[in-house]
Structure 1
């Protein structure tokens, strides 16, 4: 069994900065779009996009979203490839719903997904949620004044 098969078997993230660049390049080439064309479509500078493809830069979630739009592919695909999201069967509906929400900015979507993942990791480590009187995070619900 080689290293990649071991990582897959252990369900560890197997992709690094370089592989997201490789994936973007593959998608760009399949779409028959030049680097220069994609940089214009995505609103990313040509040198920066080149550095991403060569694995020299790690793109943010916002940049990945722009690249996904330029390539006309799912941003979730790029998030998973970049290691921002884990590819889990049960979570895909929640993440897909957040990513599809048109009223949220890309930054808001990214933050919501990070919070969601944080809570899932916390609960996976056996941390019990707090009681209803004290919600998770220790914050009380907002109190509305009486009419």
Structure 2
């Protein structure tokens, strides 16, 4: 998950993101460290709060891009 990368690119603190999406900042911190796996509903809330697709949040866009470049 690209949570920390996307959050910092946008200059959003954990506390602010927590308030926007209704997920505790401690839980978000653990998600960023890879200690937890987010539920589908949390992934959707985070993507909406960050203004990205769920695919982008989960890093699927990069995976598809790499696969396409390897197929050429």
| Band of TM-score, shorter chain | 0.7 to 0.9
C-alpha distance in structure 2 between counterparts of 1:44 and 1:68, whole Å: 13
Correspondence for 2:21 among 18, 31, 42: 42
Residue in 2 that maps onto 1:59:
38
Q: Which runs of 5+ in 2 are unaligned?
A: 65-72
Q: Distance in 2 between matches of 1:77 and 1:60?
A: 16
Q: Following TM superposition, by how much is the alpha carbon of 1:61 offset from its aligned partner in structure 2, in angstroms?
A: 1.3
Would you say how many aligned residue pairs link Structure 1 and Structure 2? 62
Higher relative contact order (CA 8 A, sep 6+): 2
> Is the radius of gyration larger for structure 1 or structure 2?
1
1:1-147 equivalence runs, <5 A: 20=1, 23-79=2-58, 81=59, 87=64
Tell me how far apart the structure 1 counterparts of residues 55 and 43 of structure 2 sit (CA, whole Å): 9
CA RMSD between the two structures = 1.7
* SS of aligned partner of 1:51: helix
Distance 2:22 2:53 in 1: 17
Partners of 1:78 and 1:62 in 2: CA distance: 13
The 3-state SS of whatever aligns with 1:37 is helix
Partner of 2:23: helix, strand, or coil? coil
Supply the distance in 1 between the matched residues of 2:55 and 2:32 (Cα, whole angstroms). 18
Q: Alignment partner of 2:37: what SS?
A: coil
Partner Cα separation in structure 1 for residue 40 and residue 34 of structure 2: 16
